[in-house]
Amino acid sequence: MTLERITTNRTKVGLVAGGLGAYWPQFPDLLPQLQRSSARVSERMRELGCEVVDAGFVSDAQEGAAAAEKLRAAGCDLIVGFLTTYMTATMLLPVAQRTGAPVLLINLQPTESMDHDTFDTGQWLAYCGACPLPEMANTFIRAGIPFRSVSGYLEDERAWAKIGRWVRAAGVRASLRRGRHGLMGHLYPGMLDVATDLTLVPVNLGGHVEVLEFDDLRVRVEQVTDAEVKDRMELARQVFELDGSVVAEDFAWAARVSAGLDRLVADFELDSLAYYHRGLDGEIHERLGAGMILGASLLTARGVPAAGEYELRTSLAMLIMDRLGAGGSFTELQALDFLRGHVEMGHDGPAHLEISSRKPLLRGLGVFHGKRGWGVSVEFDVAHGPVTAFGLLQKRDGTFGFVVSEGETVDGPHLKIGNTTSRVDFGRDPGEWTDAWSATGISHHWALGTGHRAEELRALADLMGVEVVHV
């Protein structure tokens, strides 16, 4: 099952390669060889799925300044400086200073090792990209410019895996900095941990929080036609297995709300959404709040994460996991299975349908526990295998932090109550893990995504200057 994703911007990587111009007249074959290596790096960068702004090959400080201006104007998400041979720091410092983007230095020599018996000086210099790396590091540190580096050889898959990790992290950072995050309704009464100072989101992550009313959704739901409802119900039948408990009227209402949600997201250009509304006595706002799960799950699977209970930090965590290709479902602790050594976690929707272990189930509920209203909810467990629990921490001083824990989703019995429930084995006593996870100060919601993502999240944290707590 694949839902059409909502289009997002590609990561824009600025690439500049360089070497010392004094070498070119001395060793005529050297520059063409280095330029071929630079072209190969540009090609492999594009294979990572990013847009490459290639500033060309620089040989002195003047050319470095010209490259800096080109990359500044391009608005890059990451600057990659390819050290092909020795070059002076004056050739790259302006690039880092003027672009304002995170900097990755790469030193990829042509092959694993030189042929020491046959190489002359010119051939050796093509392997000398490591030589200027300490010079660049020293200069950047003295300039107060953070940087990171990857050393290897041109077709070194281990090195390219690291480079890819930095490129993905830069793309997520850009998504957050450009993001528009909807916050609709009001705080679930009493959930002090969920409350987020809205100013802290652009301060810590960038982006914009769009404060919405449920009336913004109401007027759009009122515009949905019966034909659109029918189409949305047909889509849901393709995506979900419908349980016999689903009431036709509730199903149609959830489909209508789903179509209205799509309009809301499009009109406000949202990249994520957190919502909650209590309502009273079956009036329209209560019905809207209770009808969200189908549409929110479909949006989440298409790349616009939606989290209930007004959980803004968790909708942001879900966005981060989605952009890393990990999915990311809205989740919390549900129970501990000491018999099997598992932590049971999930929520009553919304869920990231693309990471379900099976065709997700749509179940009808006469009551949502702890909430007003009734309707349909999503039920599944995350695909079995490596997973990462990931949440955003708001600390006492107002800074954000990442909380990360890697485990394995495994088979076992599941409740059939319309919740997304996954059994996670963290390789330790579930009670001890729960105590350690809670001690970080994480809120009671987070994102659960596929794959072990701690290293990717560490890379993102490095680019954003955020602390990581690894449980």
As a whole number, the mean pLDDT across the chain is 94
With 70 as the cut, is the pLDDT of residue 55 above it?
Answer: yes
Percent of the chain at pLDDT exceeding 90 = 87
Task: Give the number of other CB atoms < 10 A from CB of residue 148.
Answer: 16
pTM for this one?
0.94
CB 283 within 8 A of CB 251: no
Tokens of 465: 């200057």
Check residues 21 and 377 and name the one with the higher pLDDT.
21
Q: What distance in Å separates the CA atoms of residue 317 and residue 9, rounded to the nearest whole number?
A: 19
- In which residue ranges of the chain is CATH 3.40.50.10940 found? 12-168
Of 147-156, 229-238, 363-372, the poorest mean pLDDT is in 363-372
- In which residue ranges of the chain is CATH 3.20.14 found? 179-470
Q: What distance in Å separates the CA atoms of residue 225 and residue 416, rounded to the nearest whole number?
A: 33
Give the SS3 label for residue 459: helix
Q: What residue type is 297 in one-letter code?
A: S
Q: What distance in Å separates the CA atoms of residue 446 and residue 424, rounded to the nearest whole number?
A: 14
pLDDT number for residue 230: 97
pLDDT number for residue 282: 86
Q: What distance in Å separates the CA atoms of residue 376 and residue 440, rounded to the nearest whole number?
A: 34
> What confidence tier does 7 reach under pLDDT thresholds 50, 70, 90?
confident
pLDDT number for residue 6: 85
Check residues 232 and 3 and name the one with the higher pLDDT.
232
pLDDT number for residue 367: 63
With 80 as the cut, is the pLDDT of residue 172 above it?
Answer: yes
Task: Give the number of other CB atoms < 10 A from CB of residue 407.
Answer: 23
Task: Give the number of other CB atoms < 10 A from CB of residue 145.
Answer: 15
Of 281-290, 362-371, 413-422, 449-458, the poorest mean pLDDT is in 362-371
Q: What distance in Å separates the CA atoms of residue 155 and residue 8, rounded to the nearest whole number?
A: 30
One DSSP character per residue, 274-310 reads EEE---STT-HHHHHHHT-HHHHHHHHHTT--EESTT
CB 319 within 8 A of CB 179: yes
CA distances from 20 to 83, 265, 322, 330 (A): 10, 51, 42, 52
Q: Where are the beta strands (DSSP E) in 198-280?
A: 208-212, 241-242, 272-276
With 60 as the cut, is the pLDDT of residue 1 above it?
Answer: no
CATH class of this structure's domain 12-168 = alpha beta
Domain 179-470 belongs to what topology? L-fucose Isomerase; Chain A, domain 3 (3.20.14)
241-242 β-sheet, strand order: 241-242, 361-365, 375-379
Q: What distance in Å separates the CA atoms of residue 152 and residue 188, rounded to the nearest whole number?
A: 51
pLDDT, one tens digit per residue, over 347-383 is 877 789 988 988 999 998 866 655 656 788 888 889 9
290 CB-near residues (< 8 Å, 6+ apart): 279, 368, 371, 372, 373, 374, 375
pLDDT number for residue 347: 85
pLDDT, one tens digit per residue, over 27-51 is 999 999 999 999 999 999 999 999 9
pLDDT number for residue 368: 64
- Read off the pLDDT of each residue in 236-242 and give the average, rounded to a whole number: 94
- Tell the residue number behind the tokens 């997201």, with chain if given: 265
- Read off the pLDDT of each residue in 437-465 and give the average, rounded to a whole number: 97
Tokens of 26: 């001395």
Of 75-84, 134-143, 350-359, the poorest mean pLDDT is in 350-359
Of 141-155, 274-288, 423-437, the poorest mean pLDDT is in 274-288
Question: Is the previous residue joined to 350 through a cis bond, with omega within 30 degrees of 0?
Answer: yes
- Read off the pLDDT of each residue in 214-220 and give the average, rounded to a whole number: 98
pLDDT, one tens digit per residue, over 400-433 is 999 999 999 999 998 888 788 899 999 999 999 9
- Read off the pLDDT of each residue in 215-222 and give the average, rounded to a whole number: 98
